[in-house]
């Protein structure tokens, strides 16, 4: 049985469109698995993820050119835990 381990972050996108991911994510996630969901607040916005920088920042832009006001939810897979074989299990 495989147990998926993920990390999550939620909040409101800053006015400059930068989502700072938690420092605890650095070195503990698989950057290629970062998934970003954006929910506009108040009015229609053409929001998209412009880039993900080093698994530490997500850059959000509004294709319509207006201000950014949105909620975000970011998830990513955790790196696998190391397997420890201390020789005490005889199964």
Per-residue pLDDT, 16? 95
Q: Please compute, for residue 44, the number of CA atoms within 13 A of its CA located in the half-sphere on the CB side.
A: 1
Q: Name the token pair of 58.
A: 């997500």
Per-residue pLDDT, 89? 59
Across the range 6-17, mean pLDDT stands at 96
Asked if the model's pLDDT at residue 88 lies above 70, the reply is no
Tens digit of pLDDT for each residue in 23-65?
A: 999 999 999 999 999 999 999 999 999 999 988 999 999 999 9
Map the chain to HEC letters.
CCCCCEEEEEEECCCCCEEECCHHHCCCECHHHCEEEEEECCCCCCEEEEEEECCCEEEEEECCCCCCCEEEEEEEEECCCCCCCCCCCCC
Per-residue pLDDT, 76? 95
Q: Which residue has the higher pLDDT, 86 or 25?
A: 25
Give the mean pLDDT of the chain.
90
């Amino acid at each position: 049985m495989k147990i998926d381990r993920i990390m999550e972050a939620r909040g409101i996108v800053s006015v400059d469109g930068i989502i700072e991911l938690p420092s605890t994510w650095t070195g503990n996630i698989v950057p290629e698995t970062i998934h970003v969901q954006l929910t506009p607040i108040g009015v229609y916005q053409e929001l998209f993820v412009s880039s993900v920088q080093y698994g530490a920042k997500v850059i959000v832009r509004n294709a319509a050119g207006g201000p950014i006001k949105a909620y975000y939810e970011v998830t990513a897979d955790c790196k696998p835990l190391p397997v420890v074989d201390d020789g005490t299990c005889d199964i």
